[in-house]
Amino acid sequence: MKFRLRSIQSGFTLVEAIIVIVILGIIAGIAGLFLSGRVQQYQDLGLRIELSDTADTAARRISRELHLAIPNSVRSANSGCIEFIPAYDGGRYRSATNSTGGGNAFTTTQAITGFDVIGPLAATPSPGDFLVIYNLGIPVADAYASADNRVSLNNLSTTSFLSFGSKQFPFESPGKKFQLVSGTEQAVSYVCSGVGVDAKGNGTGRLYRVSGYGFVYPEPTACAAIGTSPVVAQNVSACQFTYDPGVRERTGLVSIRLTLAKSVMQTSESVNLYYDVNVNNVP
């Protein structure tokens, strides 16, 4: 008896192959939509974090410097800038001689050329730095005006004795306090310039830190010139500074409103920041 072996062949038909390809395409499309959404969310989050960090860093830097401003020196020519005189050190002066008549005491009854510091300073002041006493921000007691309560130190100053040209101060400080200001930086301004939004949704403005331009008196009606000042924040789409002096010789309030906007490919984000800074105005 003879047996015939018949080979059995199996495989996909063309129709079956097309069906498989279509199904795989649908699955890939669904997966792509799901993943693209996740990637977009990740890009949005990264951009928001970048803008938030930039705005927060700028506001904190301004806040830190405002806390070092000499009393009653904060002012704002307009909502696009804030100006103040930062102090790098300070202390208390000798207000009376010792029992034997020794010591260099501060007085307002006559011109003096120096006084003793009660408790040493952190470092020796540089010649050309400025000494300010009892700043009230009013005529005769305004550190922006050179003839009032501000004087330039000379090279005889030490950590325990401050020396300057002959000067008769108009007032003494109730707390016997003084502040020292850098002769290089002098007054400082934070200025917003070019604020707006372009067609792509990017903030067009920048926030600058301006210094070294001197002391402007009387108070100007325009912000300090930017020049080659360093940039603190970019992509600024809105910016506003307001200053409420409150009760003189107490506490003032600086309000900072900063909006940053940036667009990257399909992602467009903006961040709004509002920051209040309490300023000590007790001279």
- Token code pair at residue 192: 């917003």
Say whether pLDDT at 265 is over 80.
Answer: no
For range 199-207, the mean pLDDT: 95
Cβ neighbours of residue 159 closer than 8 Å, sequence gap 6 or more: 117, 120, 121, 122, 123, 124
Bridge partner list, 271: 260
Bridge partner list, 254: 243, 277
| pLDDT band with cut points at 50, 70 and 90 for residue 246 | confident
| Residue 58 φ/ψ region, left for φ over 0, alpha for ψ in the -120 to 50 degree band, beta for the rest | alpha
Q: Which pLDDT value is given to residue 31?
A: 60
| Residue 199 φ/ψ region, left for φ over 0, alpha for ψ in the -120 to 50 degree band, beta for the rest | alpha
pLDDT digits (tens, 9 = 90+) for 20-46: 777 777 776 666 565 455 555 656 678
Q: Which pLDDT value is given to residue 40?
A: 57
For range 73-80, the mean pLDDT: 96
The residue among 209 and 22 whose pLDDT is bigger is: 209
Q: Which pLDDT value is given to residue 12?
A: 63
- Token code pair at residue 163: 């020396």
Q: Are 207 and 233 in contact (CB under 8 A)?
A: yes
For range 91-96, the mean pLDDT: 96
- Token code pair at residue 50: 């970048």
Say whether pLDDT at 245 is over 60.
Answer: yes
How does the average pLDDT of the chain come out, rounded? 89
The closest of 64, 80, 76, 162 to 119, measured between CA atoms, is 162
The radius of gyration computed from the CA coordinates of the chain, to the nearest angstrom, equals 33
| Low-confidence winner among 38-52, 70-84, 118-132, 166-180 (lowest mean pLDDT) | 38-52
Say whether pLDDT at 213 is over 80.
Answer: yes
CA-CA distance, 197 to 240, in Å (whole number)? Answer: 15
Beta strands across the sheet bearing 112-118: 150-152, 130-132, 177-181, 89-93, 112-118, 161-167
Q: Which backbone phi and psi does 182 adopt, to 5 degrees?
A: -60, 130
Q: Which backbone phi and psi does 43 adopt, to 5 degrees?
A: -65, -40
For range 54-58, the mean pLDDT: 96
Q: Are 129 and 152 in contact (CB under 8 A)?
A: yes
Q: Which pLDDT value is given to residue 74?
A: 96
Bridge partner list, 238: 259
Q: Which amino acid is at 203?
A: G
Q: Which pLDDT value is given to residue 105?
A: 97
| pLDDT band with cut points at 50, 70 and 90 for residue 107 | very high
Q: Which pLDDT value is given to residue 184?
A: 96
Q: Could you tell me the maximum CA-CA distance found in the chain, to the nearest angstrom?
A: 144
For range 257-280, the mean pLDDT: 91
Q: Which pLDDT value is given to residue 13?
A: 77
The residue among 30 and 175 whose pLDDT is bigger is: 175
How much of the chain, in percent, has pLDDT values that exceed 90? Answer: 72
For 226, the 3-state DSSP assignment is coil
Instruction: List, as one string, the DSSP characters of 46-100.
Output: HHHHHHHHHHHHHHHHHHHHHTTBPTT--B-SSTTEEEE-B-SEEEEE--S--TT
Q: Which pLDDT value is given to residue 37?
A: 56
Say whether pLDDT at 215 is over 70.
Answer: yes
Say whether pLDDT at 8 is over 60.
Answer: no
